[in-house]
Amino acid sequence: MTTLRHIFDVNAARIVPTRESRKNVRFSALSPAERENLLSSYHPDYKAGAYREIRAGANKGGRTVSELADLLESDSPLDPGMSLVPDHTTDLLVIGGGGAGCTAALIAHRLGIRAMIATKLRLGDSNTVMAEGGVQAAVGEDDSPVEHFKDAVRGGHYKNDRNLLRVLVEDGPEAMLWLCEQGVLFDREPDGRLRVKPGGGTSRARLLACEDYTGLDIMRALKESVVHSGIPVIEYAPAVELLSDGEGRCTGAVLAPFGAGENGRRIVVGAKTVLLAAGGIGRLHFQGFPTSNHFGATGDALVMAYRLGVGLVDIDTFQYHPTGVIYPGFLAGALVTEGMRSMGAQLLNSRGERFIDEMETRDVVSAAIIRECHHGRGISTPSGKCGVWLDTPMIDVTNGPGTLQARFPNMVRQFTRVDLDISKQAILVYPTLHYQNGGIRIDETGETSVPNLFAAGEAAGGIHGRNRLMGNSLLDVVVFGRRAGAAAARRSRETEHGRLTLDHVVRHRAALKEAGIEEPIVGPILVPTYARQRAG
Amino acid sequence: MVRLSLRANPLVILRESNAVFREDCLVKTSEDQEPPKVGVEILGRTFQVPAGITAVDALWLTGHALERGVGCLGGVCGACTMLYTTPGSPNFNVGLGCRTVIAEGMSFFPFPQRGRSRCRYELSDVKDPAGELLDHFDRADKCRHCHGCTNVCPQKIQVEEAIELTGKGEFAKAGEMFLPCVMCGACMAECPEEMEPNHILLYARRGFAARLAPPPHELERMAREIREGRFAAEMEALIALSDESLAARCEEGRG
């Protein structure tokens, strides 16, 4: 079989000899108009045929990718007449056991509130654990939350909710201190100062990292904290529907544990407050893209909140991370951290030419890669894919031998397993579905328009506008996890348990019928439906 | 009503995903189109599957359950840890199913997920991480140097050596060696002294981070300045700008 090494060898003459001359040369930056033009021509968010109008619910008349529209118009798996005698009652029910969920549960627990976590897979199985590059927080002498805000709002094409973004950047340093107290060990310079690196679209170096295992170090510490706190955790028990008191307040949720069968056991949880921290949507594979997301990222939080009448924001825009692996096939979709580009790795087309400033924002870099492939300047793989080179050896050329191994041990390990030495040869990349830029509309405390229902992390929207910067998602999960946990704790103190009903499911079904939606799919889908046949 | 299949076949979507941009792609050779098949043994039954796929792919392709034993699919969560043997070697190997490419004659089965640590500590109560090690992990000094933990680690961490360093109070080095750990629990299962090596090393890393590492003064300074309102006026002015003025401000000084 053809191997990546073979493909590289064929192309090496166009890549290897130019490395010294490419060192530390910044590719010319685009003007704002050129950036917009590139995006509207090549970014998947602008592919009109992939989108359709939403026909029912709070976002009726809005547009999103058809896969998500199908889900928002999906039917509940539950019979509204089912018994709703609670199996558990708690003050705060956290749905999702990733970064935001664990953070919120810990905060609420330490405020003396009874918190419980229900999660689809195991505690900690999430996108948080996979985050590689780092987390943004203004720490430099020349930096401030104002500079951080300017970078993020520019990256989001000025569509961010400015008040939420202000919370993100102003709570950032405090949230990072909290992580240090949980036992997260950020990289230091030899003199003990925090090591910071730049990211795409940032004007200052403000990424804190744990080599390229940042999310792993954070998730491991939070998970251990949750376990040692004695917070109850129900694993392999995805939530499929929220509960309300029939008067507009959220009062709990129904879980459908795996292995219980279609008509099997449900777990009813009554709660004074509920936090949706169930993450994103990558495993829906919009527009056929591979994804960097974990196995459970199927948009459940959006579906459940939407059915209860909560509006979603910016759900027509998604992040396609520029550098997903395309070959060898089993690594398809896996991420190559942006940190590599910030340390000097460059993108090259089939002619061995650079074609974009590697430190542009992710949407712009992705659009540029798609443009190269579209115009025949990509490199083909035996499995029929097309990509561009990420010239990883430039990291050592730029910073000295051994840098790649020292700073990116995770990446080196992933490729060493298949006998590829990425300090010698470049790798093939293409954009991969990475993040939902939008999500559930929240206020500055993390609460939704439905009283006592909160959302945090990737499930929530508005913070990042139409494109998130590297390192602002790990920050988001901690900042808004803390906010939502504290706000839900306060609310739980002044709230009594309410009635448990599925009245909203009846209303939702009526709305579907009124909109002429005859055979809705059943959602949330919980695990990827890879074999599903799409119309058209 | 259409019920969606909960059984996923990842290979179908990977093929579908090619279709979107296939028009952009150029060469393909006939020999590459049909990957050769290899024989593997899963839970004692033999299957023919395409070469070059991972153990998780093989489990899916052959109709095995998938909600348990699959997590990040990115080699960092430890959910898909598995035991396998290869022809010609009598030993078990431990690997991450999503990152282990199958080979002819490989025999594997998922690793049973182990319970959590017996030990409990609240990090905020730990004042002297090294001095309190045995208070929290009463078997932390029981290593008999069998190398079992190091041998089974799918991340190739020198677990036994790191445990020894922990015992000597060298938490910085131990914590650094521990960084790639995905908490799969293989070392816990292997340790004849039930020491829970992964949890000891996580304690070492967290203890070092929270108590022994240089304090993050830069974060403390910035958090204090934000609390004191140093940036409030500037921030409020920025937020009040029109879209156009905000864009002009943010594009200043950029290429």
Question: What tokens appear for A188 in the block?
Answer: 């230091």
Interface test with B, best of A127, A167, A220 (most B CBs within 10 A): A220
Phi-psi region of B88 (alpha: psi -120 to 50; beta: other; left: phi over 0): left
Looking at the complex, report in whole angstroms how far the Cα of residue A393 sits from the nearest Cα belonging to chain B: 22
Please tell me the total number of residues recorded for chain B in this structure.
255
Which sign does the torsion angle of CA A468, A469, A475, A479 carry?
Answer: negative
B110 in A contact zone (CB under 8 Å): no
The confidence score (pLDDT) of residue B65 equals: 65
**Below-70 pLDDT ranges, chain A:** 1-2, 261-263, 529-536
Q: Where are the alpha helices (DSSP H) in A73-188?
A: 99-110, 145-155, 162-181
Pairs of CB atoms within 8 A across A/B: 291
SS3 B234: helix
Question: What 8-state DSSP symbol labels residue A357?
Answer: -
Annotate A96-124 with b (16+ C-beta within 10 A) or e (fewer).
bbbbbbbbbbbbbbebebbbbbbbbbbbb
- State how far the Cα of A240 lies from the Cα of A526, in Å rounded to an integer: 8
Mean pLDDT by 10 residues, chain B (255 residues): 34 36 34 75 91 88 79 92 93 92 92 80 96 97 97 96 98 97 94 96 98 97 98 97 96 78
Does an H or E element contain A242, and which?
A: strand A239-244
The confidence score (pLDDT) of residue B21 equals: 31
Check CB contact under 8 Å for B2 and A522: yes
- State how far the Cα of A196 lies from the Cα of A133, in Å rounded to an integer: 11
Neighbours of A269 (CB within 10 A): 24
CB-based contact B79:B69 (threshold 8 Å): yes
Contacts of A418 in chain B (CB under 8 A): 101
B226 in A contact zone (CB under 8 Å): yes
- State how far the Cα of B124 lies from the Cα of A321, in Å rounded to an integer: 37
CB-based contact A217:A97 (threshold 8 Å): no
The confidence score (pLDDT) of residue B18 equals: 34
Check CB contact under 8 Å for B1 and A519: yes
Looking at the complex, report in whole angstroms how far the Cα of residue A261 sits from the nearest Cα belonging to chain B: 11
Residue B250: φ, ψ to 5°: -80, -25
B249 in A contact zone (CB under 8 Å): yes
Contacts of B94 in chain A (CB under 8 A): none
Interface test with B, best of A132, A224, A521 (most B CBs within 10 A): A224
Cα A259 → chain centroid: 27
**Residue A111 pairs with which residues in a beta bridge?**
none
B105 in A contact zone (CB under 8 Å): no
A321 counts as catalytic: yes
Looking at the complex, report in whole angstroms how far the Cα of residue B45 sits from the nearest Cα belonging to chain A: 23
Which residue in B182, B227, B254 is closest to A29 by CB distance? B254
Q: Which domains does chain A have, with CATH numbers?
A: 4-30+320-433 (3.90.700.10), 88-317+437-503 (3.50.50.60)
Looking at the complex, report in whole angstroms how far the Cα of residue A437 sits from the nearest Cα belonging to chain B: 19
A158 to B30, B233, B245: CA distances (angstroms): 49, 20, 11
Contacts of B246 in chain A (CB under 8 A): 153, 158
Shortest CA distance from B248: residue in chain A: A154
Check CB contact under 8 Å for B28 and A376: no
Q: Which domains does chain B have, with CATH numbers?
A: 10-20+35-110 (3.10.20.30), 123-212 (no CATH), 218-251 (no CATH)
- State how far the Cα of B66 lies from the Cα of A236, in Å rounded to an integer: 12
CB-based contact B180:B125 (threshold 8 Å): no
